[in-house]
Amino acid sequence: MSESETPQQRALRIVRLEVERSGGTPGDVTLSTPLRDLGLDSLDLLELQVSLADEFDVEIPDPVVQPDWIAAGTTVGELILQVVGREQGSA
C-alpha cells in the first residue's frame, strides 16, 4: 500500500486483486464497472467483502453485496462507498 493512495484507490486495488485471483482481467475494472461484470461467483464476492473489511479495519455485520445488488447493476464504486463510509463512520 502506498501512503499516497486514497481510500477509493486502496479499495479498487483490492477489487482488482480479487478479480485477478479469480482469473479475470483486473485492468478492465473501474469504479463504474457493474459487480455482475467482474466475473466473480458468490464465494468470490464474499471474499472480496472480507478483504475490503480487513483493508479498512471495519466490521461488516451483514454481507454488503446482496444478490439484488448484482442484478440491479450496482457498481464497484458503489460497493467501495459502502465500505469507505463504514470506515469514516467508525472514526
Active site residue 37: no
Question: Which is the catalytic residue, given 28, 37, 41, 54?
Answer: 41
Residue 12 CB burial class (10 angstroms; 0-12, 13-18, ≥19): buried
The secondary element (H helix, E strand) that includes residue 79 is helix 76-89
For residue 74, give the C-alpha cell. 450496482
Q: In this structure, are residues 90 and 18 in contact, taking their beta carbons and an 8 Å threshold? A: no
Q: Please list the active-site residues.
A: 41
